[in-house]
Amino acid sequence: MPMQFADAGPEALPIYLVDSDAPEVILGEMAQDLADWAAFNGFRGQLGRSLVLPSRAGALIGIGTANGRARTRFAVGAAIAKLPDALFQIVNPPPPGADLDEIAMGYLLSQYRFDRYRDQPKPKARLVAPEGIDTPRLSQIATSEALTRDLINTPAEDMGPDALEAAIADLAAQFGAQVASIIGDDLLAQNFPLIHTVGRAAARTPRLVEMTWGETGPKVTLVGKGVCFDTGGLNLKPGASMGLMKKDMGGAANVVGLARMIMASGLSCRLRVLIPAVENNVAGNSFRPGDIFTARNGLTVEINNTDAEGRLVLADALALASETPPDLLICMATLTGAARVAVGPDIAPFYTDDDSFADTVMQAAAQTADPVWRLPFHEPYEAMIEPGIADLDNAPSGGMAGSITAALFLRRFANVPRFAHFDVYGWQRSAAPGRPKGGVGQGIRALFHALPEILHP
């Protein structure tokens, strides 16, 4: 559903943003009865707290302290979304250090509900777009992130490789993009052996989905891991680890959301999206530990764990992307638990050899409340992914530096000057402002904000 603001109207009730470092700036200027009402309710501008004023005099929203705002993003926008059923409008500028874009985005993202299988109550408060923001842009960003969330939240029964391709085709139709796919044994005929290998045991056939859009500008290729469900293969996951594996296509979902942002904005570029879409299942023809396969680019890969399948399907897609080198190649994947150990579920670590790209993305992440963190392509660890019997090992033993070794593995297939890999989690473990429990976009708002500077310095 579109995430949007309400149209302005004379009936709009005022919202006053109150800074708890200086609540008197607002409360001291109010009518005495309203100030008494705030005092009676203990309202002093605490972050994310709201107070509806009597007699339709509007509402107070606390924006907290400068230090507190850094700890909880989207709290102000989420508080606005929880106001009663009425039209509201922010009437005072946010105090120094408060970001109006972040407040507006928090409100938009708080509208999201995953209601495919059950009706979910939606926010009743309607907010007029605050003055000074780029309303269409923020609405398109939030709507694109909602698409990412929907894709991740949909169970594998309804979001297999075929359904993921259909969702991409629907998106392409909205923006005049083109979609093509290579399915089943045609993957072998057209030299995508690793995608076929991972997906061959599943009832729903593996495929490589390609979407292209734009005729001018720099070439941008986005590659997303589309493992629609991951049992672990013959290295079967325990039940507790399998419960969230509908989200193992979170890299693809994030790439699709980013692609929607790019197309909706009309960014000057030639966009290519590559999604290897598979299920990693168990059957008589499952691939096995100890097997060795030759990837699209000719490198041989020894399989030491069938549960390290994401880097295999990405390898073929990255090799294809490199055959017509883009100006920028970005890979996104729910790839390793090691990334979560390193930086936790909120932060998307990324890898690149391009310092300028990294600096621009890090700055954009701070500006968009979309946290990412750069980790290193640490050259001495290259030996860890070289088993000797084959060119590469898909799952080095020892358990050390798992996210880094996975990134180094992928880099072997990305033969382009400008490459970045994002190891995302794609899941909100518990509800937070603007982010209900479930699928979530990570890094895509930061990337979208950074792309114009990266592509057109």
Give the domain CATH number at 101: 3.40.220.10
Q: Which of 79, 103, 132 is the last residue of a domain?
A: 132
- How far apart CA 358 and CA 330 sit, in angstroms, is 12
Residue 307's CB is within 10 A of a number of other CB atoms, namely 18
End-to-end CA distance of the chain: 34
**Confidence (pLDDT) at 399:** 82
Give CA separation, 89 vs 16, 34, 180, 440, in Å. 9, 18, 45, 28
**Confidence (pLDDT) at 95:** 82
Query: Are 297 and 325 contacting, i.e. CB atoms less than 8 angstroms apart?
Result: no
**Confidence (pLDDT) at 66:** 76
Spot the catalytic one: 82, 237, 270, 340. Answer: 237
Residue with tokens 């970005």: 330
Name the packing angle between helices 402-411 and 310-323 (round to 10°): 30
- How far apart CA 402 and CA 9 sit, in angstroms, is 55
Active site residue 311: yes
- How far apart CA 439 and CA 233 sit, in angstroms, is 23
Q: Are residues 150 and 296 in the same domain?
A: yes
In a domain, 8, yes or no: no
Q: Which residues contact 7 (CB under 8 A, 6 or more apart)?
A: 128
Name the packing angle between helices 250-265 and 135-153 (round to 10°): 160
Q: Are residues 356 and 437 in the same domain?
A: yes
Q: Are residues 205 and 294 in the same domain?
A: yes
Instruction: Give the SS3 label for residue 172.
Output: helix
**Confidence (pLDDT) at 68:** 79
Q: Which of 111, 132, 153 is the last residue of a domain?
A: 132
Q: How large is the greatest C-alpha to C-alpha distance in the chain, in angstroms?
A: 81
Q: Are residues 278 and 155 in the same domain?
A: yes
In a domain, 298, yes or no: yes
DSSP 45-71: --TT-EEEPSTT--EEEEEE-HHHHTT
DSSP 215-232: SSS-EEEEEE-EEEEE--
Active site residue 237: yes
Q: Are residues 126 and 150 in the same domain?
A: no
**Confidence (pLDDT) at 98:** 86
Query: Are 190 and 317 contacting, i.e. CB atoms less than 8 angstroms apart?
Result: no
**Confidence (pLDDT) at 15:** 98
Give the residue ranges of the chain where pLDDT is below 70.
1
Instruction: Give the SS3 label for residue 254.
Output: helix
Q: Which domain holds residue 106?
A: 13-132
Instruction: Give the SS3 label for residue 14.
Output: strand
Q: What would the two tokens of residue 87 be? A: 């039209």
**Confidence (pLDDT) at 132:** 92
Q: Are residues 151 and 177 in the same domain?
A: yes
CA neighbours within 13 Å on the CB side: how many for 68? 14
* Number of domains composing the chain: 2
> How do residues 335-367 score in pLDDT, each as one tens digit?
999 999 999 999 999 999 999 999 999 999 999
In a domain, 326, yes or no: yes
Give CA separation, 194 vs 184, 309, 317, in Å. 12, 9, 9
Q: Are residues 85 and 160 in the same domain?
A: no
Torsions phi, psi for 290 (to 5 deg): 95, -15
Give CA separation, 346 vs 204, 342, 372, in Å. 32, 11, 8
Q: Cα 64 to the chain's mean position, in Å? A: 27
Torsions phi, psi for 404 (to 5 deg): -70, -45
In a domain, 295, yes or no: yes
Torsions phi, psi for 435 (to 5 deg): -140, 90
Query: Are 129 and 104 contacting, i.e. CB atoms less than 8 angstroms apart?
Result: yes
In a domain, 4, yes or no: no
Q: Are residues 175 and 79 in the same domain?
A: no
- How far apart CA 181 and CA 169 sit, in angstroms, is 10
Q: Are residues 168 and 279 in the same domain?
A: yes
Enumerate the β-bridge partners of residue 193. Answer: none
Domain harbouring 363, CATH code: 3.40.630.10
Q: Are residues 227 and 325 in the same domain?
A: yes
Q: Are residues 127 and 149 in the same domain?
A: no
Q: Are residues 246 and 367 in the same domain?
A: yes
Q: Which of 132, 161, 195 is the last residue of a domain?
A: 132
Element (H, E) at 149: helix 135-153
- How far apart CA 17 and CA 197 sit, in angstroms, is 56
pTM above 0.75, yes or no: yes
DSSP 154: S
Spot the catalytic one: 44, 200, 246, 311. Answer: 311
